[in-house]
Amino acid sequence: MDGGGLTELVVTLLVVLWAVTALLVCAGNAFWKLLATATRAAVVELGPFDAGRSDQRVIAIDAEPAHPSYWARQVWVDTAGVLGAGLRAPWRRWRSHWMATVVARLLQRRRPSTGARGGNPVSRLWLLLMAPGTAVGATLAVLLVAVLHGAALLLLALLVTVVWSGWLLAVGVLRGAERAWLLAFRIRAVCPHPGCHRPVPLAAHRCTCADEVHRELRPGRYGVFRHTCRCGVKLPASLLTGRARVAAECPACDKPLPPSLATTRVVHVPLVGASSSGKTMLMAAVVAGLRSWAANGALTLDYASDADRHDGSLLDRRLRDDDWALKTQGDQRAWMILVGRGRRRRLLYLYDPMGEALQGADRLREQQYLAHADGVVFVVDVLADREVRRRIAEADSGRIADARPAAQGPVDTFDGLSGELTALVGRRGRLPVAVVVTKRDVLDRIPSLPPAGAQVDGWLVQLGLGGLVRGFTHQFGTARYWSVSAFTATGTGALDPEGRRAAEPVLWLLARSGLRVGPLVDARPGGTGVRAR
């Protein structure tokens, strides 16, 4: 055999040796160890597994005192960590162990396991010849692990994406269902407290631990069905899962809201009238009339909050002791009463502002609750009108003084209200107005005035207030008229029929919201004057 053939034989033997070595190293050792390294690194990345050990990858609680949902963002942090660790670990192991340790020692004719030098020239030569095959086998192993593990991690990422999409869809469906439910039942939550009266698209909710207030208690990044408070308490995140049972506060003024605010359609009814026109007495009569209907089983009635129940008790006590309601002082919180008939309920907001608050354009613009009004109860004290006073005989002046006439006539009050009310209501349409003539018990005892009949609007025209009646017709969508003696309907010796009559204006407005109380208004003989456009 010549030199060229010998060289070719030696090269062939070396290639075969290196190929066999590479195959043995790859299939018999390196592949499995590198695969185990990649898997272990991916699993450890989901740690830590030691109790009490902090983990910087976990997203911390921010201003909202709730633990972020795992599926909102943490899942992507963990997935990215698993992908990165699973792909980096085998290459680090290949570089640090197989290339920098095992192959390097073989090239130095040292045993790869102990680093000891070969005992004789033959063994040292054998170790040197093993180095290329080992390097190729380890490299082939790490490439196979990268492909296999990368495919597995890609499948994991795909599964995570599918689950995350399902979570996101659940958030959207629950939010959409809640929004659709609110729109279907025309529920518009508004803060009832003076100085605020702002819409409440999402109330703040106080945890039962009483230390944490959650301002994003809805399906979202803190949970789909429940949020876990910082203190560990789980709170329902949706109206569909019971959020209405959690104590609510206005996010703007931080004052408490009634539990039914988020689940019941609100009907906003301001009582508009001059100072001393009888608004507060009328409101007490309205509540008395609603109670009378509830006692007969025609309605269900309840106060929306403990504060309303307390205020109602104070007013009842005052009327029993003095037969007269105190004049409204300062800005008043809306009275909130739950009125129901059949399966339907309404949360009635009754606003009783100071008469002075309705005088002047600037002060009227401050009455933001008017922007949410579903109807207006306009309180008319005809004894405050100058033209009417001229028609009253001198002998009846004592009765007029005892009736405490309003400080401003109804025409002046209407003129100041009409333009600003249109600006505040905006595009929500023309409001219905229930016109209530108060102090009828006094009016019936003044012989110099024509008697108030069933057609109250016609009687107002007889008194010289035809311009006021025409103003109601043109300014409001629908106008209906009553004459009421709130004094007779409240306090000691109150008459139930008069109380029910006093409640009719509010019942009429509630009927226009879809509550089926129209028969209660129309059941009384005689009826009331109606003008509609």
For residue 270, give every residue at least 6 positions away whose Cβ sits within 8 Å of its Cβ, in sequence order, or none: 350, 351, 353, 367, 369, 370, 373, 376, 377
Q: Is the pLDDT of residue 6 over 80?
A: no
Q: How confident is the model at residue 177 (pLDDT cuts 50, 70, 90)?
A: very high
Burial (CB < 10 A; 0-12, 13-18, 19+), residue 247, is middle
Does position 402 have pLDDT exceeding 50, yes or no? yes
Q: What is the DSSP string of 159-192?
A: HHHHHHHHHHHHHHHHHHHHHHHHHHTT---B--
Mean predicted confidence (pLDDT) in 64-75: 87
Distance between CA 44 and CA 34 in Å, rounded?
A: 15
Q: Give the integer Cα–Cα distance in Å for 145 and 155.
A: 15
Note whether 283 and 377 are within 8 A (CB): no
Model confidence pLDDT, tens digit, residues 229-241? 988 899 999 988 8
Give residue-wise pLDDT tens across range 321-378: 655 555 554 456 678 899 999 889 999 999 888 766 566 666 666 677 888 888 999 9
Residues 436 and 355: their CA atoms lie apart, in Å, by 16
What is the per-residue pLDDT for 50? 52
pLDDT band at 427 (very low <50, low <70, confident <90, very high): very low
How far, in Å, CA of 379 to CA of 434, rounded? 8
Number of other residues whose CB lies within 10 A of the CB of residue 25: 23
Q: What confidence score (pLDDT) does residue 491 get?
A: 64
Residues 6+ apart with CB under 8 A from 390: none
User: Is the predicted pLDDT of residue 529 greater than 50, yes or no?
Assistant: no
CA dihedral sign, ordered 91, 92, 94, 99: positive
**pLDDT class of 533 with cuts at 50, 70, 90:** very low
- As a whole number of angstroms, the distance between CA 59 and CA 121 comes to 60
Segment 460-477 shows an average pLDDT of 90
pLDDT of amino acid 365 = 65
Residue 16, CA atoms < 13 Å, CB-side half-sphere: 6
DSSP 49-94: -STT---TTSPPP-SSSBPPPIIIIIHHHHHHHHHHHHHHHHHHHI
Identify the three-state secondary structure at position 135.
Answer: helix
Q: How far apart are CA 513 and CA 344, in angstroms?
A: 11
> Tokens 């508009």 sit at which residue?
272
Model confidence, pTM: 0.74
In this prediction, residue 531 carries a pLDDT of: 44
SS3 category, 213: strand
Position 3 scores a pLDDT of 61
Closest CA to 479 of 457, 451, 454, 453: 457
Lowest-pLDDT range of 104-108, 119-123, 526-530: 526-530
Higher pLDDT, 489 or 190: 190
Q: What is the pLDDT of residue 240?
A: 86
Using CA atoms, how far apart are residues 354 and 367, in angstroms rounded to an integer? 11
* Mean pLDDT of the region 371-391: 89
DSSP 482-528: EE--HHHHSSTT--HHHHHHHHHHHHHHHHHTT-S-HHHHHTSTT--
Mean local confidence (pLDDT), 492-518:
88
Q: What is the 3-state secondary structure (H, E, C) of 254-301?
A: CCEECHHHHCCEEEEEEEECCCCCCHHHHHHHHHHHHHHHHHCCCCEE
Q: How many CB atoms lie within 10 A of CB 476?
A: 24
